[in-house]
Amino acid sequence: MEFFRPTPALFPELYQDAADTLKEIFNQKIPDSIKLIELISKFNQDERVEIASIYGSELLFEQSKKAFKSDFENLILALFTPRYQVFANLLNTLFKRPSTLLTTLAFCISTPDAECLLKVQNFASLYEQNFGKLGPAFLTRKEDCSSDILTIRQELDKSSFESTLIHVLSNLHFSFYQQFILQNPDINEKIKCDISKNYEAYISASDAKNDMFRQVAKCVKLTVKGLGTKDDELIGLTAIFGDRMRNQIIKKSYDGDIVKELKSDLSGDYERCILAVWGLK
């Protein structure tokens, strides 16, 4: 998806100043977590990694582990870690879940840019295990083919429905797919009829391709729904998507009041930082 490609470095001239601010924060006997959260919220994930590199990533992680505890500590570490690495860690967490819903995994098959995909190739077997033929196709995808709606429909009506659908889902630019869904709202029913094995994975992939924002928001909701917060998933989703779905994007995509639901499950600096990264109050 377009929004999941590398975020441009917007303020490189401010990186050194930010690194100096980090030094001031951690030189205090008790680091100012509010000031740290404020700094974090000013930059995107890629920029924070650059700032950490200037400051010294190992030193930053070491000091964070000493200064903070539990979920807030884990969140801080994730927010200064390269996005693809957080993504790989999240994949590892999700694939270990014995009963992970395909809805939760749907965003995995609409993964980042080609460079990032190469860095998670070691998950290829798990992709295939969870998504069948569809999984490996997304690890080698090139979202650069285009086609008109009629051509897509004609291709999907041919006998090789599954292989054609895999090609369309993994390679067609999402804007074309959104147009296709608008004109063919029955696609999920067709998937159920024409793909007997693991059809849920194809439906999840189709839903994610059609509206990635809503799918990510659904994943976030699942982390706070039910008994206990799935903090490792919430932290991963926040680091990967928070700066790309800030404020109104996540609010409009979320089914319910995201601020209210997060506040009811989280507390303290952990809550404040999660909300800040998503651009929420």
Cα–Cα dist 191/268, whole Å: 45
Cα 127 to Cα 108: distance, rounded to the nearest angstrom: 9
Q: What percent of the chain has pLDDT over 90?
A: 41
| Statement: residue 141 has pLDDT above 70 | no
Cα angle vertex 123, ends 122, 129, to 5°?
A: 135
- Predicted local distance difference test score (pLDDT) of residue 1: 43
Q: Which two tokens stand for residue 159?
A: 């006998």
Give CA–CA dist 95/92, Å, rounded. Answer: 5
Q: Are 64 and 73 in contact (CB under 8 A)?
A: yes
Q: Which helix (H) or strand (E) holds 205?
A: helix 199-210
d(CA 103, CA 125): 19
Average pLDDT, the chain: 83
Strand partners, 145: 172
In this structure, CATH architecture of domain 2-82: Orthogonal Bundle (1.10)
In this model, does residue 196 exceed pLDDT 70?
yes
Q: Which two tokens stand for residue 246?
A: 């800030």
pLDDT of residue 74: 97
Rounded to two decimals, the pTM is 0.86
- Look at residues 101, 120, 116, 86 and name the one whose alpha carbon lies nearest to residue 204: 101
In tens, the pLDDT along 3-40 reads 454 455 667 788 999 999 999 999 999 999 999 999 99
Residue 62 has pLDDT above 90, yes or no: yes
Other C-beta atoms lying within 10 Å of the C-beta of residue 72: 24
Whole-number pLDDT of residue 167:
79
| Cβ neighbours of 80 (radius 10 Å) | 22
Least confident of 161-165, 241-245, 273-277: 161-165
Q: What is the reported pLDDT for 267? A: 94
Sketch the domain layout of the chain as residue ranges: 2-82, 101-212
For residue 179, give Cα distances in angstroms to 176, 182, 185, 210: 5, 5, 10, 9
Which DSSP letter does residue 30 get?
A: S
